[in-house]
Amino acid sequence: MTLVERWRRGSRLAMNENSPWGGSGGSDGGGRGGGNSGGGNGPRNPWSRPSGEEPPGRDPRGPSAVEELIRRARTIFGDGLPGGPDGRTIWVYVALGVAAIWLATTCVHRIGPQERGIVTFFGSFSRTLTPGIGLTLPEPLESVKVIDVEEIRVVDIGSTGDAEKLVLTGDQNIIDLAYSVRWNVKNSELYAFQIADPDKTIAEVAESAMRAVIATVTLNEALGAGRTGIEENVRARMQEILDGYRAGVSVQGVAIKQADPPDAVNDAFKEVSAAQQTAQTYLNEARAYAQQLNSKAQGEAAAFDKVYVQYKLAPEVTRRRMYYETMEQVLSGIDKTIVEANGVTPYLPLSEVNRRPQPARPEVEAQP
C-alpha cells in the first residue's frame, strides 16, 4: 500500500463519515498531515495498518461514525505531536497558516502594465492601483477589481455567417451592413461603476449610431464613396452618447467590413455595372469608327490633292491618261463584245453570256 493510496483511503473515509472537520478545508488537511508525519510508521498509527488487518469496527455498518472519528482523533493527536500532548497548538498553527495565505493573496496585487486595479474600501471607491505591485488591506476590508484598460476590444455587428443585417438608407433603400467597433476603457472607475452592462451598451449604442448615420446618407454613398465619412460620423456619435452616459469608454474606431446591396437585389446591382461596361463598349466602338473614318477621309483628300496638283499642270493629258489607264485595267480582265456595224441589229451571243456560271451580273455598257 503506497502512501498516496493511504491518503486517498483516508479522505474517502472522512467523507463517508461526514466528518464535521471535512468542511473546513485547509485545517482538515493540515491536521491530518501533521498527524501522519508525527506518527511516522509506528505500529499504533492506524494509517499504516495493512487493509487486511482492519478490525470490523472500520466497517461503515459498524459503530457510529462520530464515535469512530473521536476514537481516531484521539489516536492521532495523542501520538507524538511536536507541540506535546496539547491538541490546541495544531489549531493555532493551522489558523495562522490560513491567515498568512489569506493575507498574501488578498493584500498583494500584481497589476500588469495594461491594467488598473479599482480598490474599494467596504464597497466605497478608495483609489486606483497603477501598474506594479499594489498593496491593500485584506479582503473583507478592501477588495480589488482589475480592469484591462489598454486592450482594444472589438464588437462585431452584422452579417458574419448569420442572417443579413439590413439597414435603411436616407433614400429609403436597404443595404446589408456589417461592421465592427473597436474600443477600450478610458476611465476605469467610470467603467466599473457607471454602466450596468458595458459590452451590451456599447453594442446597442453602436447599432443605434450606425443606423442613425446611414439614415442620413444615400444608398450610393453608403455603398461606396461615403464609407470613411460614415465610419468617422458613427465613431463621433458613439463617443458622444457614451460620454453622455459617463461610461468611461473610448471608441477607437468603427470599421465597415461590408456594405452590400441585399442578396435579393444584388443581381440588379450587377446589371448596373454590366450596363456601364456595355455603354463603355459602345463608346469605344464609336471612337474606333471615328478614327477610322477620319484617317480615311484625310488620306483620300490628301491623295486627291496630290493628283490634282499634277492635273492642273497638264489637265487634258492627265485626264486622258487616267481614262485610258483605268479602262485598260478594267477591260483587260473581263469579257468583251464589240458591236461594230452601225446599221446592223446587233446579235447578242446570249448563249455565250449564259454559259457563264450563275449568278451572273447584268451586262453593263461602259460609257466614258
* 343 counts as binding other proteins under rule CB under 8 A: no
Strand partners, 127: 119
* Residue whose C-alpha is closest to residue 251's, from 240, 265, 264, 266: 240
The yes or no reply on residue 84 touching other proteins (CB under 8 A) is no
Contact 203, 155 (CB under 8 A): yes
Q: Which DSSP category does 46 fall into? A: G
> Closest CB to other proteins among 2 and 342?
342
Minimum CB distance to other proteins, residue 312 (Å): 8
DSSP designation for 201: H
| Contacting residue, 10, 29, 46, 87, with other proteins by CB under 8 A | 87
Contact call for residue 73 and other proteins (CB under 8 A)? yes
Among 9, 44, 110, 287, binds other proteins (CB under 8 A): 287
163 binds other proteins (CB under 8 A): no
**Cβ proximity of 115 and 131 under 8 Å:** yes
Binding marks (x or -) toward other proteins, 107..136, rule CB under 8 A? -------------xxxxxxxx---------
- Closer to other proteins by CB, 15 or 275: give it: 275
Binding of other proteins by 147 (CB under 8 A)? no
Return the residue of 5, 99, 296, 317 that touches other proteins, per CB under 8 A. 296
Could you tell me which of 206, 80, 116 has the C-alpha nearest to residue 155?
206
Determine if 285 is a binding residue for other proteins (CB under 8 A). yes
Residue 44 found at the interface with other proteins (CB under 8 A): no
Helix (H) or strand (E) holding 202: helix 198-214
| From 195, 202, 222, 249, residue interacting with other proteins (rule: CB under 8 A) | 195
Q: Does 170 bind other proteins (CB under 8 A)?
A: yes
Alpha helices in 44-87 (DSSP H): 65-77
| C-alpha closest to that of 262 among 179, 174, 178, 180 | 174
Task: Report the site for other proteins in 2-31 (rule: CB under 8 A).
Answer: 20-21
State yes or no: residue 92 binds other proteins (CB under 8 A): no
Q: Kindly report the backbone phi and psi dihedral angles of residue 120, in degrees, each rounded to the nearest multiple of 5, phi listed first.
A: -115, 135
**Alpha-carbon gap, residue 184 to 233, rounded angstroms:** 18
Complex with other proteins: residue 7 or 245, whichever CB lies closer: 245
Residue closer to other proteins (CB basis): 41 or 332? 332
Is the backbone peptide bond immediately before 359 cis, with ω within 30 degrees of 0? yes
Residue 182, C-beta contacts closer than 8 angstroms, at least 6 positions apart = 152, 153, 154, 251, 252, 253, 254, 255
Compose the 323-342 pattern: x for residues touching other proteins by CB under 8 A, - for all others.
Answer: xx-xx-xxx-xxxxxxxxxx
Rg (CA), the chain: 52
Ranges within 218-257 binding other proteins (CB under 8 A): 219, 241, 244-245, 247
Binding residue for other proteins (CB under 8 A) from 62, 110, 151, 282? Answer: 282
Q: Does 103 bind other proteins (CB under 8 A)?
A: no
CA–CA dist 189, 118 (Å, integer): 7
Under 8 Å between Cβ of 109 and 117: yes
Is 74 a residue that touches other proteins (CB under 8 A)?
A: yes
Q: Which stretch binds other proteins (CB under 8 A): 42-50, 52-60, 208-216, 227-235?
A: 208-216
- Which of positions 299-318 make contact with other proteins (CB under 8 A)? 300-302, 304-305, 307-308, 311-312, 315
- Binding-residue total with other proteins (CB under 8 A): 122
Q: Is the Cβ–Cβ distance between 62 and 56 less than 8 Å?
A: yes
